[in-house]
Amino acid sequence: MPELPEVEITRRGLAAHLTGLSIKDVVIRNGSLRWPIPKNLPTLLRGCTIVSLKRRAKYLLMDCGSGTLILHLGMSGSLRILPYVMSAAPARGTPKVGNPLSRKPDAELTPPVGTPSGCENLCEAPLLRSDPPAGKHDHFDLILSNGTLVRLRDPRRFGAVLWHSGDPATHPLLASLGPEPLEKDFDANYLYLVTRGRSVSIKQCIMDNHIVVGVGNIYANESLFRAGIRPQLAAGKLSLPRCTKLVAEIRATLAEAINLGGSTLRDFVNTSGQPGYFQQTYWVYGRAGEPCRRCGAPIKQIKQGQRSSFYCGKCQK
């Protein structure tokens, strides 16, 4: 699952390319993601200029002036920037095509969602072709004014493409989120105060988006190892000095992951289609039974909240 570093890498790659461009059109091939893609999204977005692209937790927030496009990569999603070309319109009477990007035959007479304005009759409409063509898991495209498009690929369809016309911070998915781990609101004093009296494990605590956002399973495991803290330690037993150490290691781990392009364990690629390399530096994640890189003791694996935790019994207390 893409975690904060992967989403931040995606944001940086997109922001440098998209800011100031206008949206020519929208293609929705499969709107059945975690939440349905709004059917009126093409109408809302056509002609909008992309003002900025920000991140909140694992959500990407695209400011389109009249509202915000909220994007989430889910468990297997990625966003790519690809070129497209307009082909000449086929002559009248030629067989109709369904998806204007994939050019796959389709017997339906109704144009696909996202067909450019004025292209209701596909026999007379110019066709959009991308390189590579849209595949089975390519569910959503933003067609841009500079000859490129942004494509959401999401094999498991747990991602999201939503629209919010007001302040994005008031959206139900964002309103109750905790502080960003790389910003000043998340510090040792904050972590110490929110963990007092809590019997839940420290790992589950730092993975709670109401306490701090974006620290997923991979980076929670790695941060706890670096801080020398066992994942099953009750959060309320963490001293202020250990909170100071943990906050510092969470920040350092996330920053290092961003610098190395994130983690690619299965599906994640950046906006250019390149994988990340942080997985090559893991201390404990996914290394059950292997020797600890510090002390040589075997890495242990347990289950916490249906997620795997990895730790060294000697280095972490």
Q: Which of 11, 58, 153, 300 is catalytic?
A: 58
Integer Cα distance of 110 and 97 in angstroms? 10
300 given a catalytic annotation = no
Q: Which of 54, 96, 251, 307 is catalytic?
A: 307
Residue 245's H or E segment, with its range, is helix 240-259
Burial tier of 220 (Cβ tally within 10 Å: 0-12, 13-18, 19+) = buried
Half-sphere exposure of 231 (CA within 13 A, CB side): 26
96 given a catalytic annotation = no
58 given a catalytic annotation = yes
307 given a catalytic annotation = yes
Name which of 242, 195, 196 is nearest 204 in CA terms. Answer: 195
Integer Cα distance of 32 and 43 in angstroms? 18
**Cis before 172? omega within 30:** no
In angstroms, the first-to-last Cα distance of the chain is 28
Residues labelled as active-site residues: 2-3, 58, 307
